[in-house]
């Protein structure tokens, strides 16, 4: 009987710890991540004949290389490859929260979206079309109220039902002809290095290199020859010249644009009577 491993990921204050407690009850262990003072929480629960290990990852808005929390969260997902990543989002702040979701998708994580604080969204007259959101992102979406354990059983059932799926290295956002061509050049090079391509999702690595992610940049520097780094520099300079901005800014803008389109398709803010009459 193989243990299923799941990780909770989300922005700070999205309700991760609350959901972690709902899932694991008293069966938790608190320690530290190796080498750092960031708290590591692990717990367990059972469902039927399945045993599920749960990790509460540090809260973070992004999965770049800027903070300890970001690096811990993303290294865990990349290196440990949890069977399921439960992406806990604050339903009242979907636009900001989905920035992390997009990055998880680009890392090929096997995601279920816990649309948490759905009670607060209702109070604020934010109406989320769950099916549209799920279709758009191509991942299961379960509304939850962690403080009341609502949606918990549905979430657990979904976690178990997708736990043996392995998402393919794929296309989430089309970054446009120019950027896509440079991504293609870099993925071509990365594929020559199994040490890298077996460990990291290839498309994600190419995007990270265009963004000049310091962590991935160093990994590449250690593992590949100088030709790789000079191609990264050429690609970055070329994009900067023809598109007029740093690739990391262009890439972030396209992610925000994608999310904004997605929000338009799936979220309605209904006016309250008070708002209508003031």
Of the ranges 10-18, 187-195, 201-209, 252-260, which one interacts with Mg ion (CB under 5 A)? 10-18
CA atoms within 13 A on the CB side of 39: 8
* Choice from 4, 15, 100, 259 touching ligand GDP (CB under 6 A): 15
Beta carbon of residue 179, minimum distance to ligand GDP (angstroms, whole number)? 33
Among positions 152-211, residues that touch ligand GDP (CB under 6 A) are none
What number of chain residues touch Mg ion (CB under 5 A)?
A: 2
**Residue 42: contacted member of ligand GDP, Mg ion, none (CB under 5 to 8 Å, by partner type):** none
* Choice from 6, 15, 17, 250 touching Mg ion (CB under 5 A): 17
Question: What is the secondary structure of the chain as a DSSP string?
Answer: -PPEEEEEEESTTSSHHHHHHHHHTT-EEEEE-TTS--EEEEEEEEETTEEEEEEEPPP-S--SSSSHHHHHHHHIIIII--SEEEEEEEGGGHHHHHHHHHHHHHTT--EEEEEE-HHHHHHTTEEE-HHHHHHHHTS-EEE-BGGGTBTHHHHHHHHHHHTT----S--S----HHHHHHHHHHHHHHTT-HHHHTTS-HHHHHHHHHTT-HHHHHHHHHHS-HHHHHHHHHHHHHHHHHHSS-HHHHHHHHHHHHHHHHHHHHEEEPPPHHHHT-
Tell me if 9 is assigned to a ligand binding site: no
Residue (4 or 145) nearer to ligand GDP, CB: 145
**Residue 116: contacted member of ligand GDP, Mg ion, none (CB under 5 to 8 Å, by partner type):** ligand GDP
Tell me if 60 is assigned to a ligand binding site: no
Query: 135: which residues sit within 8 A by CB, 6+ positions away?
Result: none
116 binds ligand GDP (CB under 6 A): yes
* Choice from 4, 9, 14, 189 touching ligand GDP (CB under 6 A): 14
Tell me if 12 is assigned to a ligand binding site: yes
Residue (16 or 203) nearer to Mg ion, CB: 16
* Choice from 4, 9, 16, 216 touching ligand GDP (CB under 6 A): 16
**Residue 194: contacted member of ligand GDP, Mg ion, none (CB under 5 to 8 Å, by partner type):** none
Q: Is residue 172 within 8 Å of residue 179, measured between CB atoms?
A: no
Tell me if 37 is assigned to a ligand binding site: yes
* Choice from 5, 42, 120, 169 touching ligand GDP (CB under 6 A): 120
Residue ranges binding ligand GDP (CB under 6 A)? 10, 12-18, 59, 116-117, 119-120, 145-147
Annotated binding-site residues for GTP read 10-17, 35-39, 56-59, 116-119
């Amino acid at each position: 009987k193989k243990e299923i491993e799941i990780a909770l990921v989300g922005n700070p204050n999205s309700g991760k710890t609350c959901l972690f407690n709902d899932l694991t009850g008293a069966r938790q262990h608190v320690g530290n991540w190796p080498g750092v003072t960031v708290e590591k929480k692990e717990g367990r629960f059972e469902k039927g004949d399945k045993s599920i290990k749960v990790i509460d990852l540090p809260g973070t808005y992004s999965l770049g290389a800027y903070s300890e929390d970001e690096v811990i969260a993303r290294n865990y997902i990349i290196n440990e490859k949890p069977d399921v990543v439960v992406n806990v989002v604050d339903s009242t702040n979907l636009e900001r929260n989905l920035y992390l979701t997009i990055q998880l998708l680009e890392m090929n994580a096997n995601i279920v979206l816990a649309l948490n604080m759905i009670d607060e969204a209702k109070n604020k007259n934010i109406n989320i079309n769950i099916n549209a959101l799920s279709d758009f992102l191509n991942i299961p979406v379960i509304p939850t109220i962690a403080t009341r354990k609502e949606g918990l059983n549905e979430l657990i059932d979904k976690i178990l039902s997708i736990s043996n799926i392995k998402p393919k290295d794929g296309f989430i956002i089309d970054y446009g002809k120019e950027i896509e061509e440079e991504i293609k050049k870099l993925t071509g090079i990365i594929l020559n290095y199994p040490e890298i391509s077996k460990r990291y999702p290839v498309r994600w690595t190419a995007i990270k290199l265009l963004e000049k992610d310091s962590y991935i940049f160093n990994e590449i520097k250690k593992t590949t020859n100088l030709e790789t780094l000079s191609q990264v520099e050429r690609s970055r300079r070329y994009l900067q010249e023809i598109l007029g901005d740093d690739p990391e800014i262009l890439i972030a803008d396209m992610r925000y644009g994608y999310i904004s389109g997605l929000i338009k398709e799936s979220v309605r803010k209904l006016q309250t009577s008070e708002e209508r009459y003031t």
